[in-house]
């Protein structure tokens, strides 16, 4: 088949496929997170937490389930991933798959974290989010400032001494960093349940990551030249652009193809009706967050930010290379869940992390061979295949 024939074939396919694109918006789309939570019969509170370095971040709290009136006694924090925020633990309610709701109905006082840079983390006591200084952070700073501020606030507010930790993707990264860098917080966590946690990245074979790795120096020069500090730099959120492009437009079929084929974002178990709601709650992030992950893919090591030359690293750390995170010092019980079709984290890297931890109590591959990076949040079978088994695992540690 000639290239011109292939072009015609693909073009015709896209035109026909556009008739089956992403169309319409579920009624939940028009609701704020407060109204969304209330619609399903749950209470919600807003709490603002100020970090040591001045970021003002909003947390959402679901203190009890639908049938309760008293605050639940078991405490849990749900921590989102890169380009995620609190709403992504709620949106699957249309399939009875909201992890936050299940936990609230089973005796947990549920707190939903939003990190700096999300739609609920764009305030600072001095800095403006339109300034590059606001975005001079990676997941290292989220772990060192945002997460401990949230944990301390929760424990002080509830007068508890421990909590359950659930982290998706970057939520696992910052658990590792906090536990290694501030070991006193290990005593405050009963069990860390990590969903495709990003840590070691040396075995990632995803072609896009490998391409960026080969051109990392060029990317860094471009970032510095054009002062790319927020990505994508579209104001408060890329969600409006994504919605206008992908919903009820001529490009809807293209968006669907990308979502189905790029990194397993959309798997067979994801209901396309939910995608507008997911797109609405996608925030921007600091460019440095993605670059820090890319450094780990290149080096195969889990360590602090590399400034690019030995002199700058010596000035920052006292050593020519950035320090490794001492994950061997982490004694918190850790359960790791992962999908066999996940292209963002690999089984080899997760096994390496599990071997490094002192108390990796389980390394749990999902039974569905097509389970991917976002199915914990998006899959229409997440409730039965993931949420319920996770709940049972957590309950074993409630008395500890």
What domains can you pick out in the chain, each with its CATH number? 31-205+327-395 (3.40.50.1820)
Whether the CB-CB separation of 78 and 97 falls below 8 Å is answered with no
Interatomic CA distance for residues 382 and 377, integer angstroms: 7
What does the alpha-carbon distance between residue 351 and residue 355 come to, in Å, rounded to a whole number? Answer: 6
pLDDT at 29: 75
Q: What is the pTM of this model?
A: 0.89
61 contacts 44 by C-beta, under 8 angstroms: yes
pLDDT band at residue 55 using 50, 70 and 90 as cut-offs: very high
Q: With contact defined as beta carbons under 8 Å apart, do 180 and 327 qualify?
A: yes
Residue 393 is a catalytic residue: no
Asked if pLDDT for residue 255 goes beyond 80, the answer is no
| Given the residues 95, 140, 168, 373, the one annotated as active site | 373
373 is catalytic: yes
pLDDT higher than 60, residue 251: no
Does residue 4 surpass a pLDDT of 60? no
pLDDT, averaged across the chain: 87
**The pLDDT value given to residue 211:** 83
Given a cut of 80, whether residue 237 has pLDDT beyond it is: no
Q: Which residues lie closer than 8 Å to 45 by C-beta, 6 or more apart?
A: 60, 61, 63
Residue 247: band (very low, low, confident or very high) from pLDDT cuts 50, 70, 90: low
The pLDDT, as a whole number, for residue 328 is 98
More confident site: 163 or 69:
163
Over residues 354-391, the pLDDT tens digits come to 999 999 999 999 999 989 999 999 898 999 999 999 99
Q: Is residue 333 within 8 Å of 359, Cβ to Cβ?
A: yes
Tens-place pLDDT, residues 183-203: 999 999 999 999 999 999 999
Instruction: Give the separation between CA 90 and CA 137, rounded to whole angstroms.
Output: 27
Cβ atoms < 10 Å from Cβ of 164: 22
pLDDT at residue 52 is higher than 50: yes
pLDDT at 7 over 60: no
pLDDT in tens, 311-335: 999 999 999 999 999 999 999 999 9
Q: Where are the extended beta strands (E) located within the chain?
A: 45-50, 55-62, 74-79, 108-112, 123-124, 163-168, 189-195, 230-231, 285-286, 334-338, 360-365
* Model pLDDT, residue 20: 40
pLDDT above 90: percentage of residues in the chain: 68
Q: pLDDT tens digits, residue range 106-122?
A: 999 999 999 999 999 99
| Separation of alpha carbons 5 and 28, rounded Å | 43
Q: Which of 25, 113, 116 minimizes the C-alpha distance to 61?
A: 113
* Residue 2 is a catalytic residue: no
Residue 306, pLDDT score: 97
Confidence at 12, pLDDT banded by 50, 70, 90: very low
Q: What pLDDT, on the 0 to 100 scale, is given for residue 94?
A: 81
**98, 115, 138, 169: which is the annotated catalytic residue?**
169
Give the DSSP letter string of 336-354: EEE-TT-SSS-HHHHHHHH
Read off the pLDDT of each residue in 146-170 and give the average, rounded to a whole number: 98
Convert 11-45 to b/e letters by CB count within 10 Å (16 or more is b).
Answer: eeeeeeebeebbeebeebbebebeebbeeeebbbe
- Catalytic entry in 28, 109, 146, 342: 342
DSSP 163: E
DSSP-based three-state secondary structure for 177: helix
The answer, yes or no, to whether residue 170 has pLDDT greater than 80, is yes
Partners of 151 in the β-ladder: none
Q: How confident is the model at residue 96 (pLDDT cuts 50, 70, 90)?
A: confident
- Residues 331-352 have a mean pLDDT of 95
Q: Say how far apart CA 147 and CA 260 lie, in whole Å.
A: 32
Residue 160 vs residue 210, higher pLDDT:
160
């Amino acid at each position: 088949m000639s290239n011109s024939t292939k072009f015609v074939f693909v073009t015709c396919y896209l035109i026909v496929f556009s008739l089956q694109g992403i169309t319409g918006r579920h009624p939940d789309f028009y609701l704020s997170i407060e109204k969304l939570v209330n619609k399903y019969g749950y209470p919600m509170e807003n709490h603002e937490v100020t970090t040591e370095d001045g970021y003002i971040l909003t947390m959402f709290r679901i203190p009890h389930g639908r049938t309760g009136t008293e605050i639940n006694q078991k405490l849990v924090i749900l921590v989102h991933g890169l380009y995620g925020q609190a709403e992504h633990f709620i949106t699957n309610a249309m399939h009875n798959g909201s992890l936050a709701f299940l936990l609230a109905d089973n005796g947990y006082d549920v707190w939903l974290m939003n990190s700096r840079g999300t739609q609920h983390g764009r305030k600072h006591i001095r800095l403006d989010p339109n300034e590059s200084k606001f975005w001079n952070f990676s997941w290292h700073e989220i772990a060192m400032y945002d997460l401990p501020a949230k944990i301390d606030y929760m424990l002080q507010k509830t007068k508890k001494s421990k909590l359950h930790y659930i982290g998706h993707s970057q939520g696992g990264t910052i658990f590792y960093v906090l536990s290694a860098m501030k070991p006193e917080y290990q005593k405050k966590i009963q069990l860390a349940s990590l969903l495709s946690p990003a840590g070691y990245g040396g075995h990632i074979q995803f072609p896009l990551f490998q391409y960026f790795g080969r051109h990392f120096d060029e990317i860094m020069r471009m970032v510095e030249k054009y002062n790319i500090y927020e990505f994508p730099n579209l104001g408060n959120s890329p969600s409006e652009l994504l919605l206008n492009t992908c919903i009820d437009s001529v490009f809807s079929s293209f968006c669907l193809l990308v979502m189905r084929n790029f990194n397993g974002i959309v798997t067979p178990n994801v209901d396309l009706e939910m995608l507008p709601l997911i797109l609405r709650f996608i925030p921007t992030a600091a460019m440095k967050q993605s670059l820090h992950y890319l450094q780990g893919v290149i080096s195969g090591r889990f360590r602090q930010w590399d400034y690019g030359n030995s002199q700058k690293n010596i000035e920052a750390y006292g050593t020519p290379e950035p320090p490794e995170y001492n994950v061997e010092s982490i004694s918190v019980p850790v359960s790791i869940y992962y999908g066999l079709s996940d292209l963002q984290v690999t089984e080899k890297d997760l096994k390496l992390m599990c071997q490094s931890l002192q108390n990796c109590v389980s390394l749990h591959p999902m039974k569905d061979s097509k389970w991917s990076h976002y199915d914990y949040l998006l899959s229409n079978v997440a409730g039965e295949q993931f949420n319920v088994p996770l709940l049972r695992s957590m309950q074993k540690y409630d008395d500890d």
